[in-house]
Amino acid sequence: SHSECSLLPYNHFWITSKRIVTPQGVISAAVEIKGGNIVSIVKEEDWHRNSKTGQVIDYGDAVIMPGLIDVHAHLDDPGRAEWEGFPSGTKAAAAGGITTLIDMPLNSDPSTTSTETLKLKLEAAEKRIYVDVGFWGGLVPENAFNESALEALLNAGALGLKSFMCPSGINDFPMTDASHIKEGLAVLARYKRPLLVHAEIQQDSGRHVELEDDTLDSRLYSNYLKTRPPSWEQAAISELLTVAKDTRIGGPAEGAHLHIVHLSDASSSLDLIKEAKSNGCSITVETCPHYLAFSAEEIKDGDTRFKCAPPIRDSANKEKLWEALMGGHIDMLSSDHSPTVPELKLLDEGNFLKAWGGISSLQFVLPVTWSYGRKYGVTLEQLASWWSERPAKLAGQASKGAIAVGNHADIVAWDPDTEFDLNDDHPIYIKHPSISAYLGSRLSGKVLATFVRGNLVYKEGNHAPAACGSPILAK
Ligand SMILES: NC(=O)N[C@H]1NC(=O)NC1=O
Ligand SMILES: [Zn+2]
Ligand SMILES: [Zn+2]
């Protein structure tokens, strides 16, 4: 029943706090929520003129922000639900203040590359998601030159497409080259939806290390790092820029948008993206908390929890990533939560060359961004921009991503100053906490409550009984 969707017994109420993050700044105010939407926002100085009818939940000086929108998560459902799955993944999201996530088309089985496979996603998500979930479709060689197949996938509601420029590690998700991407952009232009690209192209330099040198100690992180040098990202991005030109005003793919996922190289790769932006290409870039939190020097030999692609680079690169993020050259953040079963992380063996590549982070991205960002002077407005406003725009969700009248009441209440240890005593909802690189760290920023379209879906270790998240389909 509907009452099971929320831990609150009413659907008209107010949230008050001294720190509400709005597009107009951080204000002391009351947010009125009715029928799942934000219907008014009254600043504290105007309260005397406005009676707050209905229930009031006062969060004191805890921060009230738009819920996070994670545009890059692999929930692996259907087909590899033992890796994560919709129920545990979206419970973790809710516990982490994420109110919407967009599921990647790969790591589930089958991959989401057709209307039929998108339908399987929707069936798997039914009554099993605790937050709202949208879906990227896959752009693969099989459908890239098949305009009607791509149109069907977009007509069925895929929010955009995603492709890989290197092997993805998943058999039914082969890589694309610039010619496939050009075709994809031409179709996406008519729908005004984005193409997300995993931008690494195999170069002989890295492959050589891995294939030729079988004496390589696979437990050394430094050896893994050598197999995927920054030149892989640079090569992919410079190739992408040859087709990104099409997205310029007056170009053959005007209306389409190119989004580079999980940038790790903050040097030449980033310079190329800056150049494309200044040339009028419709292009954005994300990075992920693990590239901002960790550096290669700190990764212990054999600790494959930290294996991901592109790899976590040295601390000088990390500083440059922060600089680019703070300077507005990196547009947004995403988790790239890409879990597997512990066996495939090869934690005992510690083999960086053979272990599954992917960081498990879904529940922790808000406290991680905040904890590691504090020394760089990260503001609450920046958090809301990187994690809500810009992701909403990328995913075409005009009613989400900001605390504003008329929007969905997707809200996180959190306390920036409470510290906690991510250990076994902490309630963790991702399916395999042991493979998370964050386990064992001390973080600040505790999520107190999460609202999805006005439903209180999570509060201090408890979830609403029923999974009432909505699948999001593009119209
Ligand atoms: N298939 C998949 O999820 N790959 C992801 N893992 C990772 O570390 N980088 C990726 O692109
Ligand atoms: Zn990727
Ligand atoms: Zn990914």
Instruction: State yes or no: pLDDT of 346 exceeds 60.
Output: yes
- Rounded distance from Cα 124 to ligand 1 centre (Å): 22
Q: 455 forms bridges with which residues in the sheet?
A: 452
Predicted confidence at residue 112, as pLDDT, reads: 98
DSSP assigned state of 245: G
- The helix, strand and coil proportions of the chain, stated in percent and rounded to the nearest 5, come to 35, 25, 45
Q: Is 169 in the pocket of ligand 1 (CB under 6 A)?
A: yes
pLDDT mean across residues, the chain: 97
Ligand nearest to C-alpha 308: 1
**CB neighbours (10 Å) of residue 52?**
14
Is residue 377 pLDDT above 60, yes or no? yes
- Helix-helix angle 230-244:178-191, to 10 degrees: 50
**Does residue 74 line the site of ligand 1, with CB under 6 A?**
yes
Ligand 1 pocket, 106 CB below 6 A? yes
Residue 209 — pLDDT band, cuts 50, 70, 90?
A: low
Residues 108-112 have a mean pLDDT of 98
CA atoms within 13 A on the CB side of 211: 7
For range 379-389, the mean pLDDT: 98
- Please give the pLDDT value at position 50: 75
Q: Is the pLDDT of residue 213 over 80?
A: no
pLDDT of 49 reads 84
Location of structure tokens 């580079």? 260
Residue minimizing CA distance to atom 6 of ligand 1: 358
* pLDDT, average across residues 199-224: 82
Amino acid at 469: G
* pTM > 0.90: yes
Q: What is the DSSP string of 370-437?
A: HHHHGGGT--HHHHHIIIIIHHHHHTT-TTSSS--TTSB--EEEEEEEEEEE-STTS---SS-GGG-T
- Residue 51's pLDDT band (cuts 50, 70, 90): confident
344 CB within 6 A, ligand 1: no
Task: pLDDT band for 18, please (50, 70, 90 cuts).
Answer: very high
pLDDT reported for residue 53:
81
- The 10 Å Cβ neighbour count of residue 449 is 23
Residue 212 C-alpha to ligand 2 middle, in angstroms?
A: 25
- Radius of gyration over every alpha carbon of the chain, rounded to an integer in angstroms: 22
162 lines ligand 1 (CB under 6 A): no
The confidence score (pLDDT) of residue 204 equals: 84
Rounded mean pLDDT, 151-171: 98
Residue 210: pLDDT above 90? no
String of DSSP letters for 29-79? EEEEEETTEEEEEEEGGGGGGS---SEEEE-TTSEEEEPEEEEEE---TTT
Q: What is the pLDDT of residue 13?
A: 97
pLDDT band at 52 (very low <50, low <70, confident <90, very high): confident
Question: What pLDDT is recorded for position 226?
Answer: 95
Q: Which two tokens stand for residue 377?
A: 């002077």
Is residue 357 within 6 Å of ligand 1 at its C-beta?
yes
- pLDDT of res. 207: 64
Centre of ligand 2 from the C-alpha of residue 408, in Å: 29
Question: Where are any strands of DSSP class E within 251-369?
Answer: 257-260, 283-287, 332-333
Residues 6 or more apart whose CB falls under 8 angstroms from that of 202 comprise 166, 167, 232
Ligand closest to 261 (CA) is 2
Instruction: Give me the torsion for CA of 461, 467, 468, 472, rounded to 10°.
Output: 110
In this structure, are strands 55-58 and 12-22 parallel, antiparallel, or unpaired?
A: parallel
Note whether 205 and 173 are within 8 A (CB): no
- pLDDT at position 206 is 65
Longest dimension (CA), the chain: 76
Q: Is 198 in the pocket of ligand 1 (CB under 6 A)?
A: yes
Classify burial at 180, counting beta carbons within 10 Å of its beta carbon; exposed 0-12, middle 13-18, buried 19 or more.
Answer: buried
> What band does 454 get if pLDDT is binned at 50, 70 and 90?
very high
* Ligand 1 atom at shortest distance from the alpha carbon of 357: 8
- How far is Cα 77 from Cα 94, in angstroms, rounded to an integer? 18
Please give the residue that has the higher pLDDT: either 49 or 11.
Answer: 11
Helix (H) or strand (E) holding 234: helix 230-244
CA of 56 to the centre of ligand 3 (A): 40
Residue with the nearest Cα to atom 3 of ligand 1? 338
Q: pLDDT value at position 48? A: 84
User: pLDDT for 407-427, tens place per residue?
Assistant: 999 999 999 999 999 998 899
Q: Which helix (H) or strand (E) holds 277?
A: helix 268-278
Q: Is the CB of 228 under 6 A from ligand 1?
A: no
The answer to whether the CB of 308 is under 6 A from ligand 1 is yes
Is the interface score ipTM higher than 0.90? yes
Ligand 1 neighbour 280 (Cβ under 6 A): no
pLDDT digits (tens, 9 = 90+) for 260-318: 999 999 999 999 999 999 999 999 999 999 999 999 999 999 999 999 999 999 999 99
